[in-house]
Amino acid sequence: MNKFLNVLIFLIIFSLLNFSASSKQENYYYEVQFGNLIVGKAEVLFRSTSQNLNIDIKSQTAGILDVLYEYNGVLKSSSIKNKGTWLPNKFSAGGVFNKKKRTTDITWVNDYKTVSYVNVPTIDLKKYHEVQKSSLINVIDPITAFMRVIEKINEEYTCDQNFKVFDGRRRYDLEIKTIGNSTIDNDRPKSYKGDVLICGLRVFPIGGHRLKTKWKPSEDKISDIKVFFGKNQNKDYVPVRVQIERWFGTVVIRLIRKTL
């Protein structure tokens, strides 16, 4: 079940990135579905200028998952635009899972090339692979990475990119490729309906992943995790749905808004 929660949190991070850089302040809401059940939700506060981006996310389990494996957490991220490119500045995460608290704080230093970070508690090397310091050069946080993806889609209508990602506890390489175009229906109230660009995603673990796991990254396909980008009211492409196929089932996270 810890693996499921990690996927849930990752998808919330990914799907919150559906904002126009010209926005000043907005609130958004998300639902996470596993099977026929709503198992998670998130509230996002987005603040931006042309050169700065700040995002706060409150997420928690819902329904039966909240009864069995209660989780609630807060993520905070700040990015800076330098020479037309979003760069990571600070990233923090704090959460409580079954009454156990953990926190992470990262700051990018040396012209955004290296990081200084603190984890409480520290990573248990009896359960997780060590994150080597040599792997933390020129890394990016997941939120800033996907801001770059969104900008590329809006400018070039393609999402093909690769990133070296670090979230404080996990270091992984991220590959994103364009799959194609399609049309989706609003299969839930207030969800998106319309034309979409579909992008596939693969994660290659470098450090911080579990020593014992059923996950076999080498067997993953680029289509196992699909992100659907549709146009919002400003005619910008934004992620409107994420669908992930794993050995334990299918997880879907949807943007829920009054207006798209």
Q: For the segment 47-72, what is each residue's pLDDT rounded down to a tens digit?
A: 878 788 888 888 777 765 555 566 77
> What is residue 34's predicted lDDT score, i.e. its pLDDT?
85
User: What is the pLDDT of the chain when averaged over all its residues?
Assistant: 84
> What is residue 15's predicted lDDT score, i.e. its pLDDT?
52
pLDDT bucket at 19, cuts 50 / 70 / 90: very low
Burial (0-12, 13-18, 19+ Cβ within 10 Å), 251: buried
pLDDT reading at 98 higher than 60? yes
pLDDT bucket at 18, cuts 50 / 70 / 90: very low
> What is residue 53's predicted lDDT score, i.e. its pLDDT?
85
> What is residue 20's predicted lDDT score, i.e. its pLDDT?
46
Instruction: Answer whether 11's CB lies under 8 Å from 37's CB.
Output: no
pLDDT reading at 121 higher than 90? yes
Tell me how far apart the alpha carbons of residues 219 and 164 are, in angstroms, rounded to a whole number: 20
pLDDT reading at 168 higher than 60? yes
DSSP 138-188: T-B-HHHHHHHHHHHHHHHS---EEEEEE-SS-EEEEEEEEEEEEEE---S
pTM given for the model: 0.85
> What is residue 21's predicted lDDT score, i.e. its pLDDT?
45
Q: Give the residues across from 195 on adjacent strands.
A: 183
| Strand (E) or helix (H) holding 250 | strand 249-256
Q: Which residue has the higher pLDDT, 76 or 164?
A: 164
Tell me how far apart the alpha carbons of residues 82 and 84 are, in angstroms, rounded to a whole number: 5
Tell me how far apart the alpha carbons of residues 26 and 257 are, in angstroms, rounded to a whole number: 11
> What is residue 66's predicted lDDT score, i.e. its pLDDT?
56
The fraction of the chain above a pLDDT of 90, given in percent, is: 44
Lowest mean pLDDT among 59-63, 115-119, 129-133: 59-63
Q: Rounded to the nearest 10 degrees, how much is the dihedral formed by the CA atoms of 203, 206, 207, 211?
A: 80
pLDDT reading at 162 higher than 70? yes
Secondary structure (3-state) at 31: strand
Instruction: Answer whether 15's CB lies under 8 Å from 145's CB.
Output: no
